[in-house]
Amino acid sequence: MILFLALCFVGVAIGGLTAFVIFWPLALVHLRDRHPEVRARLGDGAFLSPRALSWLLGGGYREVPDARFTGLATPARVSAIVILAALGMSGLLWLWSETMR
Rounded mean pLDDT of the chain? 96
Domain around 22: 2-99
Report whether 35 contacts 66 (CB < 8 A). yes
Q: What does each C-alpha distance from 11 to 3, 75, 90 come to in angstroms?
A: 12, 18, 10
Mean of pLDDT values over 50-74: 97
| pTM score, whole prediction | 0.93
Instruction: State residue 101's pLDDT score.
Output: 79
Q: State how many domains the chain has.
A: 1
What pLDDT, in 10s, does the model give residues 4-47? Answer: 999 999 999 999 999 999 999 999 999 999 999 999 999 989 99
